[in-house]
């Protein structure tokens, strides 16, 4: 539970190796008192440098195994994270882009793996997180979504549809938790220059993990349920959402 000064004392990062997830944790803790941080990742070795960084700042860090593609394991992961104390913030920050769309067209198994990681895993981990936070009576679940959730593009519709599903799930979960003391914040960044997008051509309104983190923490201080990064994308996609389908599929985005 947050202390009397509002300092976060317990954070769980699901997707412990995520550039954006780590940036969010870093921003939450900036200038704050020591806290307990649990990093949950499939490859726990990917968290090594971040563990050293956080412990060097005086925070207590634990690393646990987490596989988004194995929903049956999620209950144990959340229980393990909660066993050491209340979780004030849980950041859901994993996801995969998958192979290019034309490759996925010819490989339905690979396409299903993208959907499992980006949607099925979110449903399972999201419900387990809600269970733990509801039992505490407080806490915020931050879900890293994408502007791709607003309208799937023909260039990456498997990824876009998986993000749309997870985004809709989190919006519904947020509504179901009203009155419980638990909050859900959905973050919709545009193209983020990170490890996951290394080597890819940038897009208009590209952003960085640090910018996403700053916008997220600012939103946490208020009452927002959704935040776009950069903010202009809210208006851009307001237009995109209503374009005729024949026009949309020809858009170079």
Supply the pLDDT for residue 153.
Answer: 86
Q: Quick check: is 1 in a domain?
A: no
Q: Work out the burial of residue 129: count CB atoms within 10 Å of its CB; fewer than 13 is exposed, 13-18 middle, 19 or more buried.
A: buried
Q: Quick check: is 116 in a domain?
A: yes
Q: Quick check: is 4 in a domain?
A: no
Q: Which residues make Cβ contacts (< 8 Å) with residue 174, sequence separation at least 6?
A: 183, 184, 186, 225
What does the alpha-carbon distance between residue 146 and residue 123 come to, in Å, rounded to a whole number?
16
Assigned token pair, 150: 């607003």
Q: Work out the burial of residue 136: count CB atoms within 10 Å of its CB; fewer than 13 is exposed, 13-18 middle, 19 or more buried.
A: middle
Total residues belonging to the chain: 253
Supply the pLDDT for residue 196.
Answer: 67
Please tell me the total count of domains within the chain: 1
3 state SS of 63:
strand
What does the alpha-carbon distance between residue 251 and residue 85 come to, in Å, rounded to a whole number?
49
Q: Quick check: is 219 in a domain?
A: yes
Supply the pLDDT for residue 5.
Answer: 40
119 catalytic? Reply is no
Q: Quick check: is 75 in a domain?
A: yes
Residue by residue, pLDDT tens for the chain (253 residues) are 554 345 788 999 999 999 999 999 999 999 889 999 999 998 777 788 999 999 999 999 999 999 999 999 999 999 999 999 999 999 999 988 888 899 999 999 999 999 999 999 999 999 999 999 999 999 999 999 999 899 888 888 999 999 999 999 999 999 999 999 999 999 999 878 767 665 666 676 778 999 999 999 999 999 999 999 998 888 988 888 888 888 888 876 6
What does the alpha-carbon distance between residue 55 and residue 19 come to, in Å, rounded to a whole number?
18
Task: State the CATH number of the domain containing residue 193.
Answer: 3.40.50.720
Q: Work out the burial of residue 111: count CB atoms within 10 Å of its CB; fewer than 13 is exposed, 13-18 middle, 19 or more buried.
A: buried
50, 66, 119, 159: which is the annotated catalytic residue?
A: 159
Q: Quick check: is 162 in a domain?
A: yes
Show the domain range for 160: 10-248
What does the alpha-carbon distance between residue 125 and residue 41 come to, in Å, rounded to a whole number?
13
Supply the pLDDT for residue 18.
Answer: 92
Q: Quick check: is 5 in a domain?
A: no
Supply the pLDDT for residue 70.
Answer: 94
DSSP bridge partners of 40: 14, 64
What does the alpha-carbon distance between residue 201 and residue 159 come to, in Å, rounded to a whole number?
17
What does the alpha-carbon distance between residue 148 and residue 156 come to, in Å, rounded to a whole number?
9
Q: Quick check: is 100 in a domain?
A: yes
């Amino acid at each position: 539970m947050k202390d009397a000064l509002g300092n976060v004392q317990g954070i769980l990062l699901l997707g412990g190796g995520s550039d954006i997830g780590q940036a969010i944790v870093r921003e939450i803790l900036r200038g704050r008192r020591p806290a307990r941080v649990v990093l949950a990742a499939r490859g726990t070795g990917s968290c090594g440098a971040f563990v050293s960084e956080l412990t060097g700042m005086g925070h207590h860090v634990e690393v646990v195994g987490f596989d988004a593609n194995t929903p049956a394991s999620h209950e144990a992961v959340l229980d393990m994270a909660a066993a050491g104390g209340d979780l004030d913030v849980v950041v859901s920050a994993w996801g995969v882009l998958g192979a290019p769309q034309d490759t996925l067209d010819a490989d339905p198994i690979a396409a299903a793996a993208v959907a499992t990681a980006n949607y099925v895993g979110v449903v399972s981990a999201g419900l387990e997180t809600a269970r733990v936070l509801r039992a505490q009576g407080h806490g915020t679940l931050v879900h890293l979504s994408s502007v791709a959730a607003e309208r799937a593009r023909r260039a990456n519709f498997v990824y876009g549809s998986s993000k749309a599903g997870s985004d809709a799930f989190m919006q519904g979960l947020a509504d179901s938790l009203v009155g419980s003391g638990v909050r859900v914040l959905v973050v919709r960044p545009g193209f983020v220059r990170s490890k996951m997008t290394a080597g890819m051509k940038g897009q208009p309104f590209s952003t960085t993990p640090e910018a996403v983190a700053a916008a997220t923490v600012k939103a946490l201080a208020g009452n927002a349920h959704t935040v776009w990064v950069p903010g202009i994308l809210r208006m851009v996609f307001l237009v995109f959402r209503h374009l005729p389908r024949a026009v949309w599929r020809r858009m170079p985005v």
